[in-house]
């Protein structure tokens, strides 16, 4: 009974809301998309111009 009381005490109001805001800001790219390491925009994989050390760069940034 003591454990359940402790768990309930850790559920602070507002924690869930801040978590949702983070999810909105950090949107993982889809399987056919990538995040450009120069302009940080999510683009289609067909726009990959260069890959270096696991970082992708779009055609616009690479000219
Ligand atoms: Zn770019």
Mean pLDDT value of segment 14-24: 55
Q: What mean pLDDT do residues 2-29 have?
A: 58
What pLDDT is attached to residue 11?
A: 61
- Residues 33, 42: Cα–Cα separation, whole Å: 7
Q: Give the helix ranges, DSSP H, for 1-63.
A: 2-10, 15-25, 59-62
38 CA from centroid of ligand 1 (Å) = 5
Cα–Cα distance measured from residue 55 to residue 50, given in angstroms and rounded to the nearest whole number:
8
Q: Are 27 and 42 in contact (CB under 8 A)?
A: yes
Assign 60 to helix, strand or coil. helix
Q: How does the average pLDDT of the chain come out, rounded?
A: 77
**Three-class SS of residue 59?**
helix
Distance 20 CA to ligand 1 centre (A): 27
pLDDT, greater one: 35 or 10: 35
- In the predicted model, what is the mean pLDDT of residues 3-15? 60
- Mean of the pLDDT values across residues 36-56? 94
In the reported structure, the alpha carbon of residue 4 is separated from the centroid of ligand 1 by a whole-number distance in angstroms of 49
pLDDT of residue 17 exceeding 60? no
């Amino acid at each position: 009974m003591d454990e359940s009381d402790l768990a309930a005490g850790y559920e602070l109001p507002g924690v869930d809301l801040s978590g949702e805001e983070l999810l909105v800001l950090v949107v993982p790219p889809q399987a056919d998309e990538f995040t450009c390491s120069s302009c940080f925009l999510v683009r289609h994989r067909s726009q990959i111009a260069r890959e270096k050390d696991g970082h992708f760069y779009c055609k616009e940034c690479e000219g």
